[in-house]
Amino acid sequence: MQTQPLSTTRPYSRRDWQTGYRSLEQELDYAIEDVAGEIPPELEGTLFRNGPGRLELGGQRYRHPFDGDGMVCAIALRNGRAHFRNRFVRTEGFVAEQQAQKILYRGVFGTQKPGGVLSNAFDLRRKNIANTNVIYWGGKLLALWEAAEPYRLDPRTLETLGPDDLKGGLKPGEAFAAHPWVDPASELDGGEPCLVNFSISPGLSTRITVYELNPAGDVVRRYSHSVPGFAFIHDFVITPHYCIFFQNAVSFNPLPFVLGQKGAGECVQFHPEKPTQAVIISRRGDHEKRVISVNSGFVFHHVNAFEAGKTLVVDSISYDSLPTLEPGQDYREVDFDALAPGQLWRFRFDLASGSVAQQKLDERCVEFPVVHPDRVGRDYRYLFVGAAHEPTGNAPLQGVLKVDLQTGDRQLWSAAPYGYGSEPIFVPRPGATAEDDGWVLVLIYNAERQKSELVILDGRDLGRGAIATLRLGHHVPYGLHGSFTPE
Ligand code: 3ON
Ligand code: FE
């Protein structure tokens, strides 16, 4: 009898992957000349991306990349040519630390000030690091971090203009989450687009505040609800009539944070045996709230949601468990095989009966989903998502998966074995009618060159491979979210 050897070959190497977690200290401004293939001339606008640009300071590494200082990249595409620019967001804390050249603030995910527990105990201040998303709305470019106010940047130079209170729409101390959605045709605004975002004010009970902004950037509606217990809600979803929040089953023990032993984020514990509370808030009238329990696993990101009669359909990326770093453990030494992958799920909430049906749509490890901007909150056919190379198991993102929710067809574009992925962005082709007719833009870290490249794919057929590869002259550390604006 023949036995098959256990396969030890992987499409990735952890050593390679790690090299993407280096700070990019330089701020650059140059025309991208090294282009393979052709940038479609109709693809015009600017891709903005945000993420941790600095991962250490004063000889001390940050404990977690989510503590890294926000650095925004802008790749402008015009007439088939491209230009790169990057700048750090000069938040108050960043400027102070830049001057001191040492860590002055504790990070939410466990970065500590030098000097041990004693110098960290009872320091409950938070450094706004503006590192999670960047959007262009109401004529403003805003860098977002979910625990504080947005920072406004000059869209041409990326120079930091300062904190922004949305023309007084945000009260002092109020946060603005990093996951706004644009409702492409808001019913309460005569079909105009409307940006919908939220803030979480955590505590013994949690206040969820929703902000709806018109295209001029005014907060035209704001409404709040309190839910019992602590909440860690990173993202949400909208439909024309509802906002839906997944209040993951977590508890918070502030003691190690207060005593200077852990970051606040490290004091959040996930209880997989307990259900998530799906908080469904009406976007109109008196904004009534409805709560439905669902066994969803832990959800950071949602894909989209839509209404089908009395059913609310929510598509999300779910984890069976949440990773925790052991004291002293380096995040770059992660054992991918020991962690739960993020997987695509569909939840159907029956608003009449309060029952939920759920279904895993795919086994593959995925993160950072995106849909056509005109399909946000509407029944939709296609999604694109950052994906692992192999169809099962937990692994770093190395490509883009396209899922046809109508036929079940899937297409994977992979940059393995040397490419490491990030959030794809879908840009519709001007004048197109088909939902997948556009381009998928994804920043890939190429570990062989130790530099990054922007890959442009054809949304209709990922199998065509890169239409264009724009090779940067340096790396960009693995980022979080971004957006494309035709301007
Ligand atoms: O103390 C409370 C708990 C808490 C965690 C309240 C709080 C508001 C201070 C808080 C803060 C939360 C923050 C600041 C969250 C920031 C999250 C962040 C920067 C990123 C989240 C990313 C999520 C995912 C799923 C990333 C995936 C990345 C990969 C697959 C790697 O390529
Ligand atoms: Fe996110």
Cα 21 to ligand 2 centroid, rounded to whole Å: 18
Rounded distance between C-alpha atoms, residue 32 and residue 424, angstroms: 20
d(CA 346, CA 405): 10
Q: How many CB atoms lie within 10 A of CB 25?
A: 10
Of the bound ligands, which one is closest to the alpha carbon of residue 445? 1
235 lines ligand 1 (CB under 6 A): no
For the Cβ of 268 lying below 6 angstroms from any atom of ligand 1, the answer is yes
Smallest-distance ligand from the CA of 481: 2
Q: Cβ(132) to ligand 1 under 6 A? A: yes
Smallest CA-to-CA distance from 209 within 279, 271, 277 is with 279
Q: In testing the pocket of ligand 1, which one of 232, 334, 445 has its CB within 8 Å of the most ligand atoms?
A: 232
Cβ of residue 270 lying under 6 Å from some atom of ligand 1? no
- Expressed in angstroms and rounded, the spacing between residue 201 Cα and the centre of ligand 1 is 15
Domains of the chain, by residue range, sit at 178-332+345-356, 362-473
State both tokens at 481. Answer: 């979210």
Tell which residue, 20, 51, 3, 50, has the closest CA to residue 450: 20
The residue type of 133 is N
Atom of ligand 1 minimally distant from the CA of 65: 19
| CA angle, 328 then 329 then 335, to 5° | 170
380 C-alpha to center of ligand 2: Å? 21
Cβ of 478 closer than 6 Å to ligand 1, yes or no, is: yes
Q: Whose CA is nearest to atom 26 of ligand 1?
A: 480
Structure token digits, residue 474: 């340096």
| Ligand 1 atom 10, closest CA | 265
Written as one letter, the residue type at 286 is D
**How far is the C-alpha of 100 from the C-alpha of 208, rounded, in Å?**
36
Q: Is 243 in the pocket of ligand 1 (CB under 6 A)?
A: no
469 C-beta closer than 6 A to ligand 1: no
> If you search the block for the tokens 């300071």, which residue do you land on?
57
Residue 67: HSE in the Cβ half-sphere, 13 Å Cα cutoff: 25
Nearest to 215 by CA among 154, 284, 139: 139
In short, whether 16's Cβ falls inside 6 Å of ligand 1 is no
The three-point CA angle 220-221-222 to 5° equals 135
Determine the Cα–Cα distance for residues 18 and 476; give it in Å rounded to an integer: 13
Burial 469-481 (b: 16+ CB within 10 A, else e): bbebeebbbbbbb
Ligand of minimum distance to the alpha carbon of 66: 1
CA–centroid distance, residue 199 to ligand 2 (Å): 14
Assess contact for 236 and 98: CB atoms under 8 A: no
DSSP string, 372-402: -GGGTTS--SEEEEEE-SSSSS-----EEEE
Q: Which of 394, 390, 379, 199 is nearest to 303 (CA)?
A: 379
Nearest CA to ligand 1 atom 14: 147
Q: Residue 373 contacts by C-beta under 8 Å, 6 or more apart in sequence?
A: 182, 184, 426, 428
Ligand 1 centroid to 114 CA: how many Å?
23
Burial 152-179 (b: 16+ CB within 10 A, else e): bbebeebebeeebebeebbeeebbbbbb
**Nearest ligand to the C-alpha atom of residue 479:** 1
**Residues 87, 46, 184, 343, Cα dihedral to 10°:** -70
**Residue minimizing CA distance to atom 25 of ligand 1:** 300
108 lines ligand 1 (CB under 6 A): yes
CA angle 322, 367, 207 (to 5 degrees): 60
Please tell me if the CB atom of residue 298 comes closer than 6 angstroms to any atom of ligand 1.
no
Distance from the CA of 389 to the center of ligand 2, in angstroms? 21
Alpha carbon of 445 to ligand 1 centroid (Å): 22
Per-position pLDDT tens, the chain of length 487: 444 555 568 999 999 999 999 999 999 999 999 999 999 999 999 999 999 999 999 999 999 999 999 999 999 999 999 999 999 999 999 999 999 999 999 999 999 999 999 999 999 999 999 999 999 999 999 999 999 999 999 999 999 999 999 999 999 999 999 999 999 999 999 999 999 999 999 888 999 999 999 999 999 999 999 999 999 999 999 999 999 999 999 999 999 999 999 999 999 999 999 999 999 999 999 999 999 999 999 999 999 999 999 999 999 999 999 998 998 999 999 999 999 999 999 999 999 999 999 999 999 999 999 999 999 999 999 999 999 999 999 999 999 999 999 999 999 999 999 999 999 999 999 999 999 999 999 999 999 999 999 999 999 999 999 999 999 999 999 999 999 999 8
Evaluate whether 131 touches 69 at the Cβ level (below 8 Å). Answer: yes
Which residue owns the Cα nearest ligand 1 atom 8?
Answer: 147
CA of 234 from ligand 1 middle (Å) equals 7
